[in-house]
Amino acid sequence: MSGVVVKTSIRRRLVRQLALVAAILSLAFFLIVRVVAERAAEDTQDNILAASATAIADALYSDGGQIALELPYSAISMLGAISQDRVFYRVAVGGETVTGYGDLPGVARVGNRRDNIFSTFEYRGEDVRAVTLFRSVSAGNLPSDVMVTVAQTQLGLAAISSRITSIATAIAAGFFLAAIALSLFAAQSALAPLDRVTQSVARRGPNDLRPVSSDAPSELVPLVEALNNLIARLRMSLSRSEDFIAEAAHRVRTPLATVRAQAEITHRRLNKPEHRKAIREMIRAIDESSRSAGQLLDHAMVTFRADSLEHAPLDLVELLRETCERLAPTAELKDIAINTDLPDVPFDFIGDSVLLQGALRNILDNAIKYSPEDSEITVQASKNGDYVLSVRDQGRGFADTDIQSLTSRFSRGSNVSDIVGSGLGLTIADEVARSHGGRLEITENTEGPGACVSLVLPQS
């Protein structure tokens, strides 16, 4: 795509944004799952710790004024239900350990609390979760405050946590991938109408200036309408340009024709050689300007049409034959014979017949112009991989002129200053050749004096 700077792709942007949203959602999902699951696991441990501590507290009894404990097996075994973590406990009355691990830190009783107090700390080199509760137990007559602490290491919890993390990661990653796939699909289907419109514009030939009519979604309607307006304007401007060129030619040539006619009448009435010579020079100047104007307009037409080349099947041999017939009367005026050596089989070619005929006419016209009286021009058509349409004359050739420069605009041979010419003829032929993927070959005539100009076109 020439001239279009590709800055962004809607598809890429759409996918990128959808992926970003999917990533954020996946991350949030991951974090939430982990937090909730870990909290649930912790709560479970806390509840069991609390149940265990309560069971121990409920098993306390007074034995002759002494607080005694028959440690219920279930109180410890229920902790084993979660994991194989080590369990520590301590029952203390007024700071004195009754049973259990004496160095297990308790908590200071605040006020008259009876609820469970949870804490996490390091004990014997490991993180433990502990619950402490206080009870008043009647020992003898006096109620005494009993503190029950149950602690458990957190290895099991860590294992659960890491399992939860990996599951959450897997789910989040799966969700992310699914979201990416969905967003690709969504971008594809959202952009499908745009692709359809693009296709219907891109598929058309260079001369197809019909409005775009493929069904478009409402968002694309303004774009399609703008495109259709542009096409309509282009179509109008193209037909105006072609009309303008034809009209310009008419405007330039009509007054020239009148002046020339007038000059010719005058020429016939005059007798003095110097007067007649002056008028002849005037007429030649008129012819020169008319010819230049014509070729400039031809050139404009060629340049213009080359952009919107018409592709129609045609026969190059027939085209060449027509051109020879058309120019035969002009050649006859100088007693120049046009010998044609054309094959009987057609040379099928796809191209713009108006332009190709223009090119051939300019080549042949050039040959006639630079040929001497009583000479011959040979027109040949042959195949050598390419189609070669050549015109060979017995004129003065190109002398020392740089042959390659002849196809550039307004460039003429170094030996033709005495002949009317604009220097556009071969330029036109060259441009037509190149717009059809061919080339113009200019060489000296190998069979005597003169030049050989060939239009070489690819065999399609």
Partner 1 sequence: MRFLLVEDNARLASVIVDRLGLDGHAVDHASDLDTARTSIRAADYDLILLDIMLPDGDGRDFLAEHRKAKKRTPVIVLTARSEVSDRVGLLDLGADDYITKPFDFSELEARCRAVLRRQGGTAANQKTFAGAVLDSAAGTIQTDGEPDFLRNRELRLLEVFFGAPGQIFSKTHLMDRLFSFSDDVSENAIEVYVGRIRKKLTGSTVRIETVRGLGYRMIGKE
Binding site for partner 1 (CB under 8 A): 242, 245-250, 253-254, 256-262, 264-265, 267-268, 271, 276, 280, 283-284, 286-287, 290, 294, 297-298, 301-302, 305, 326, 328-330, 332-335, 353-355, 357-358, 361, 374, 418, 420
CB of 220 to partner 1, least distance (A): 38
Rounded to the nearest whole angstrom, what is the least distance from the CB of residue 240 to partner 1 in the complex?
13
Q: Considering the complex, state which of residue 196 and residue 369 has its C-beta at the smaller distance from partner 1.
A: 369
Q: How far is the CB of 361 from partner 1 (least distance, A)?
A: 8
Identify which of residues 154 and 366 has a Cβ nearer to partner 1 in the complex. 366
List, as one string, the DSSP characters of 301-322. Answer: HHHHHHHT---EEEEHHHHHHH
Cβ distance to partner 1 smaller for residue 257 or 345: 257
- Amino acid sitting at position 257: A
Nearer to partner 1, 158 or 293 (CB): 293
Q: Is 200 helix (H, G, I), strand (E, B) or coil?
A: helix
Tell me the closest approach of the beta carbon of residue 369 to partner 1, in angstroms.
Answer: 8
The conformation of residue 406, written as its DSSP 8-state character, comes to G
Read off the tokens for 166.
């990996």
In the bound state with partner 1, the residue whose beta carbon lies nearer, of 155 and 328, is: 328
Taking alpha carbons only, the member of 441, 432, 448 closest to residue 378 is 448
Beta bridge partners of 443: 452
Residue 436's nearest CA partner among 312, 294, 295 is: 312
Q: How far is CA 11 from the centre of its chain?
A: 10
Q: Which of 405, 404, 395 is nearest to 331 (CA)?
A: 395
Q: How far is the CB of 258 from partner 1 (least distance, A)?
A: 5
Nearer to partner 1, 332 or 444 (CB): 332
CA distance 224 to 232: 12
Least distance in angstroms from the C-beta of 251 to partner 1: 8
| Nearest approach, Cβ of residue 388 and partner 1 (Å) | 23
CB of 331 to partner 1, least distance (A): 9
Residue 43 or 287 having the CB closest to partner 1: 287
Report how far Cα 366 is from the mean position of its chain's Cα atoms. Answer: 48
The type of residue at 179 is A
What counts of helices (H) and strands (E) characterise the chain?
8, 14
Q: How far is CA 68 from the centre of its chain?
A: 86
Q: What length is written for the chain? A: 460
Choice between 358 and 397, CB closer to partner 1? 358
- Own/partner contacts of 226-232, CB < 8 Å, gap of 24 or more, are 227/201
Q: Which residue has the tokens 């307006």?
A: 229
Measure Cα distances from 233 to 2, 83, 239, 265, 303 in Å.
Answer: 21, 82, 10, 48, 20
Q: Closer to partner 1 at the Cβ: 264 or 386?
A: 264
**Residue 201 C-beta: closest distance to partner 1, Å:** 28
